[in-house]
Amino acid sequence: MGFRLKDLDSSKEVELKSGDILGRSEGHHQFPQADKMSRSHCQFLLDRNIPFILDLNSRNGTYVNSVKIEPHKKTLLNDGHILMFGERTFVFKTDERTPSQIIPGVSAGHEASGKFATPVRTYDFSFKASNAEFFMLLLKNVLFTLLTLGFYIPYARINLRRFVWKSSSLNNFPFLFKGNPSSLLKSYAILLGLFILLSMINQAITMFVVQGSISLTFVHSIVSSAAIFMLFLWARYGAYSYLVNNTSYRSVFFKVNKKGSKAHFKSSVYGAFLTLFTLGIFYPFMAATLEKHRWNNTQYGNVGFKLDMENGDYARNWFKGFFLTLFTLGFYYPWFAVSMHHFRMRHLKMAGAKVISKAQGGGYFWVLAKSIFLMMITLGLAAPFVQNLNLSYFLKNLSPKGSINFDEIVAVAKSDKGTFSDSVADVLDLEVDLG
């Protein structure tokens, strides 16, 4: 039986033999560009053809499915395990699957019709982030951004997302973000060029066409504002696509259907004008439509998501929470947010599984109270910590339940990890609701 590691940063594979040592500059397999790996980081071992990993007291540790293993203690490896050495991430693969190598957390169940049937079970989300590691990452991002006069911003954003994604896991398997900072840097440069060009055109129109006319100034302002607004409506789907297409779980990428972009843009324009015309009454109907567009065009490998909620039900829930929040001077907001979260999750399905949320308004109230306190005493510097605090609360209370066999979910033939237009949209830093 053959054993190998697939490098998720380069897609290269490393063949493993018993006794092989992996490290930055020593051993049988070396990764000189991995600064956080130790010179001799870990060792691969076979005991009666059963694979193990042994951490050689490395500086930053060896992680198996986001859990740090004890140094000099053999840890069993199974096919599909995610291994992290420093900042490098690998998936462990075997040429054959034996009963002893079934991935923990995915039970084979009972045999039916010649296949193993996956039983109905509950899968657990978790969010485990090291505050010390997070603080050092933020410090590095701020320092390098200042030293490079802002050129490090796309790298800082990618580093932050990678940290948040790998800290989020489902059944101890972490999510990975594979966005390319160079594509964001290129997008920043082109957007800067477009901004300068449009500013010159705007200035020329003001000087040679408007020429101080009150009516033309009004028309010019309306057209300019509408153009910018249209740009943001278009960019929202692109920003969502960029985040999703660069996210993977157990070596399989998520994917957003690019064909949904046109319908999403049309619904955004139509909904925006109706919301304006109805003085905001149409907003929850538009929000429901756009959420369904995004989720129903999203898939994990070859399996799609389905958000089957009714717009009217969504709007009734939204109006109830909105007015209660208004009448209580904002006190009801945590219950409002949790209620909308529950509503979306109840109607979200994937491969026959449904999502159960145990989040409660009272619990989220204290999360928000702590968040506000941290923001006040740090003058806003705690914003990333606050974001992680809120994400942690909702993730740890999520439990997909159903008959998902992750071993049968395969990557689509061609994984589109984001086009240039998507990375341009991401530069605009739009908030994207992932549920």
DSSP 384-402: HHHHHHHHHHHHHTEEEEE
Angstrom distance (rounded) from CA 399 to CA 397: 7
For 411, other C-beta atoms within 10 Å of its C-beta total 14
In order, the DSSP letters of 110-138 are EEETTEEEPPPEE--EEE---HHHHHHHH
Give the relative orientation of helices 260-277 and 283-296 as an angle to the nearest 10 degrees.
Answer: 170
Handedness of CA 15, 18, 24, 26 (dihedral sign): negative
pLDDT at 369: 93
DSSP 31-48: -TT-TTS-SS-EEEEEET
For the chain of 435 residues, list the mean pLDDT of each consecutive stretch of 10. 78 85 86 83 88 89 82 86 81 64 35 43 77 84 89 85 86 81 76 81 80 78 82 81 84 84 92 94 95 92 88 95 95 95 90 83 94 87 80 85 69 48 51 48
Question: How many angstroms separate the Cα of 318 from the Cα of each of 13, 339, 344, 367?
Answer: 49, 9, 11, 21
The set of residues, in sequence order, having a beta carbon less than 8 Å from that of 153 and lying 6+ positions away, is 145, 188
CA atoms within 13 A of residue 364's CA, in its CB half-sphere = 24
**Beta carbons of 92 and 3 less than 8 angstroms apart:** yes
Give the count of beta carbons closer than 10 Å to the beta carbon of residue 366: 11
Confidence (pTM): 0.70
Residue of 87, 29, 25 lying closest to 53 (CA atoms): 29
Kindly state the tokens that stand for 59: 């500086």
Task: Quote the pLDDT of residue 435.
Answer: 46
What is the chain's percent helix, strand, coil content, to nearest 5? 45, 20, 30
CA gap 238, 424 in Å, rounded: 8
CA 154 to chain centre: 16
Candidates 301, 242, 194; CA nearest to 419 is 242
Q: Going edge to edge, which strands form the sheet with 67-68?
A: 13-16, 3-7, 88-94, 82-85, 62-64, 67-68
E strands of 87-226, at which residues?
A: 88-94, 110-112, 115-117, 121-122, 125-127, 168-170, 173-177
User: How far apart are the C-alpha atoms of 42 and 62, rounded to whole Å?
Assistant: 7
Q: What is the pLDDT of residue 143?
A: 92
Instruction: Provide φ and ψ at 128, rounded to 5°.
Output: -125, 100
Number of H helices, E strands in the chain: 11, 24
Radius of gyration of the chain (CA): 25
E strands present in 162-282: 168-170, 173-177, 247-249, 252-256
Query: Are the C-beta atoms of residues 9 and 85 closer than 8 Å to each other?
Result: no
Contact 83, 112 (CB under 8 A): no
Tell me how far apart the alpha carbons of residues 164 and 358 are, in angstroms, rounded to a whole number: 22
| Contact call for residues 64 and 75 (beta carbons, < 8 A) | yes
